Structure 1
Amino acid sequence: MSSRQGPVVHKFGGSVLADAAAFRRVSTIVHSEQQSGAFQHGALLVISACAGVTDRLLAIAQAAAAGKAEQAEQELQALEQQHLGLVTELGLDRGELQEYVRRLCAELAELCRGIAYLGELTLRTRDAVLGYGELLASAIVAELLRRELPVPVHLVDARRVLLTDYHFGNATPMIGESGYLLQKEGVTGALQRGEVVVTQGFIGATPSGIPTTLGRGGSDYSAAAFARALEARELQLWKDVPGICTADPRRFPEAQPVAEISYAELQELARFGSKVVHPHAISPAVSGEIPVRIRSVFAPQQPGTLVWHRRYDAPAQPLALAWRERCMAFRWYPKGNSPLAEMPEIVDTVRKVLELYVVAASQGSVLLVTGPSTGTLEELYGKVSFLPHQFVLACIVGNEPSRWTWEALELLRNSDAVSAVWTGVSPVALYVLLEESAAQSALAELHGWILHTHALQRLRL
């Protein structure tokens, strides 16, 4: 835990709120954290909708707009019964929670009737509909915690304290203004007293009070915005994975969680397919130098992975591996005397038709590696030379790659898969271009080397 003062912000996503057992798991985690003394300066819990509910709400709104009123009404009733079922299964059906759930669902039904009457679904109205998943789930979490915790638990509507711009469907939080509202609505004071505040991820409101959403993955973004506005001690994102691993554990079951990673290293892994957390979603916290910890609800005793603005005094060694498959590669040979002046034009041409991953200059040519083709490449004919293979582009992140690149080169010296190796595009990454037909064994060798360097580092400590 960071030594700085302030509350801890915990975010629980939809993937860890699937059923009653999952809600109990969250309650147990929060109770354990509170008992350990971690809530001395209070805790803000940011709650997502239950797993799958946001997609269902979108389908309901679309059905209403398409004139399928009966279908929308049936789905709304099923959604209400799902949440009332959770209330009953969790033993919370003897208070006011049932009525609160019914009231929220009645508001939602009225909103959908308006959509059906107008026959259209605007971004503004869609935002109003989609937020109900978070409102329902957070109410259940708050009531469950009131039964479990020895400190007061407050439920706060995020639309009253998270101010955003008017970009419906992908709104941006206004951090300073939100900090003022958190004070005005009593959230800051409750946290300073060591109390627990439950609110919603994904949703906010404009200065005129119109509901907004922060886009897909917006709950992490909400949590990071709250952490920054509150000057939190730490932001903890609770997932169904143990943290950032040395490689994708679905491909390499022996992959291990890393203890720490820098924001720049996380950005590179995300560019190459890592989906544990999107760097943009935690940028408000990282820019405020608030540590972000990724933890697993299935292993709450484990510390998870800590994301720092920078990894100060980190050893010069590889940390983790990610890769993109089905890549294409091209070489561009400048024809004029000013290749740097010509390069933006060829890069723009490639980006019009392909997702560009890496541009690397070598003697007399420039290598461009892209995602797979999904359309015509006529614009590129005659401008670049196509390399005649499909490729895997591997990215190895770590501190000071220039000091361990030679080890990777030595490791892959006899591999038939390696087409190119280079650094310099990012200060925290080494890139390896592999022919796809032989890439798996090379990736396994690289990952084994990373695990070996981690083991050696632990021995030194």
Structure 2
Amino acid sequence: MNVFKFGGASVKDADGIRNVAEILRMQPQGGRVVIISAMGKTTNALEAVVRAYADQQPYQELLQAIVENHLQVAAELFTETDHPLFAEIQKFFDEVIFFLERNKSPDYNFIYDQVVSSGEWASSKILSAYLNSIGFKVNWSDVRDYIKTDNTYREANVNWAETESRIQKLDRNTCYITQGFIGSDANNYTVTLGREGSDYSAAIFAYCLGADSMTIWKDVPGVMTGDPRKFKDMELLTHISYEEAIEMAYYGASVIHPKTLQPLQQKNIPFFVRSFVKPEEAGTRVGSGGDPVLKESFILKENQHFLRIATRDFSFIAEEHMSLIFSLLAKYKIKISLMQNSAISLDLCVEDLYGHTADFARDLEQGFEIQVTDGVSLFTIRNANLEQSNQYYLHRNVLLEQISRKTVQVVIK
């Protein structure tokens, strides 16, 4: 059984849906699970709905625009206006409105998961209906019946034992269409697995099924030596090891979700990154072995924050200071991208998905001097040519530089 994942760019419109259908037709027949992300920029649009709701601002028009976009895509795929898909889409988004009107919970993250997850539901319904209409038999499945988690909303932790038990009941001769990014907790409330978590969803299914392979279809040729939208003259990496891919994901390579690789490596499941634009091309294979000649690769993580923390009394940064700082980082779900400490200061480059950097700084102000620089980028060169690496950031404002045997990391403003 094989697992495929199609991201938002691949299903952003009716032509995209048709292209995905054609790709699925081209693949060897047999059992498969197809994971679908929300269409295009739907997740961003739904996040705007949640922000407006939380700020007690009008959100209805924002949500209606999302509904109309999905109905328009459906209308381009189905000429019959009475197709049940239209009523399903409208009914589902009506339920989202009903939730927002009746909700009493003040928990922003809980509200986020109940609303933002609707994008995956709608896109998977449209693809499933279209495939069945052209004679490609599929079963639409609600992923919340399979991926079970705790109630850490927006970044839930998978209950692997229960999830594996449920997924292993799937018929291995059937093609399933289901959703990425989401699951459900013990009370069957919707949870999400973290931003861009659809790749992780695919890896969960692949692991639990012991899949023959997993393929992620993207708008790039495969894993490149750098994002071609940010760097010039990048090369395709045709075969890399799990270890190298995990390192690239850890440092921020956007083509691979950080949590995706370890479940695949545990069962030695081959992982392919291929282009939905040129599906005939082989793309990148991630698996055992890999090219022994490691190419220089470039990774840019944007929208980071640089924190310089020092004790007010000029005492050394000791274990008790580090303990307090790390406990606050965990409290606010702020992730460290790079860290460097001296005797009396600690420099951190962090990723703050939930907007808590100011809260973190305020909590530290009593005992520490803290300088915050927002809007920085972390530039990483893997397998670096150390003699020439500084040419890439020679004329930038460098806040922090860290060099190891084969990796250069620089925080730049």
Asked if 2 retains the 8 angstrom alpha-carbon contact of 1:217 and 1:281, the reply is: no
Q: 1:132 aligns to what?
A: 118
* Residue 431 (1) aligns with residue 407 (2): yes
SS of 1:244 mapped into structure 2: coil
Q: 2:238 aligns to what?
A: 259
Asked if 2 retains the 8 angstrom alpha-carbon contact of 1:154 and 1:196, the reply is: yes
Q: CA separation of 1:410/1:360 partners in 2, compared to 1, >3 Å: closer, same or farther?
A: farther
Cα distance in 2 for partners of 1:303, 1:19 equals 25
Equivalences, count: 378
Cα distance in 2 for partners of 1:435, 1:73 equals 40
After superposition, where does 1:36-435 map in structure 2 within 5 Å?
Answer: 37=28, 39-40=29-30, 42-68=31-57, 71-91=58-78, 93=80, 94-115=82-103, 118=104, 120=106, 122-150=108-136, 152-184=137-169, 188-189=170-171, 192-193=172-173, 195-308=174-287, 311-312=288-289, 314-318=291-295, 320-322=297-299, 357=338, 371=349, 394-397=380-383, 408=385, 422-423=404-405, 430-432=406-408
Cα distance in 2 for partners of 1:214, 1:8 equals 22
Residue of structure 2 aligned with 1:18, choices 3, 12, 17: 12
Q: Deviations over 1:20-59 (max 9, x none)?
A: 22212211211212xxx2x33x111111111222232233
Cα-Cα RMSD: 4.2
Asked if 2 retains the 8 angstrom alpha-carbon contact of 1:266 and 1:279, the reply is: no
Compare the two structures and name the one with the higher helix fraction: 1
Q: What's the CA shift for 1:248?
A: 3.2
TM-score by length of 2: 0.76
Asked if 1 retains the 8 angstrom alpha-carbon contact of 2:181 and 2:197, the reply is: yes
Consecutive unaligned residues in structure 2, runs of 5 or more: 309-316, 330-334, 351-356, 370-375, 395-400
Asked if 1 retains the 8 angstrom alpha-carbon contact of 2:239 and 2:290, the reply is: no
Consecutive unaligned residues in structure 1, runs of 5 or more: 1-6, 331-341, 382-389, 398-404, 424-429, 438-461
Q: What's the CA shift for 1:211?
A: 1.7
Asked if 2 retains the 8 angstrom alpha-carbon contact of 1:243 and 1:258, the reply is: yes
Q: Deviations over 1:71-103 (max 9, x none)?
A: 323233222221111111112645311121122
Cα distance in 2 for partners of 1:413, 1:203 equals 41
Q: Tell me the percent identity.
A: 28
Matched AA of 2:5? K
Asked if 2 retains the 8 angstrom alpha-carbon contact of 1:349 and 1:380, the reply is: no
TM-score by length of 1: 0.68
SS of 1:81 mapped into structure 2: helix
| Structure (1 or 2) with the larger CA radius of gyration | 1
Q: 1:446 aligns to what?
A: none
Asked if 2 retains the 8 angstrom alpha-carbon contact of 1:12 and 1:237, the reply is: yes
SS of 2:297 mapped into structure 1: strand
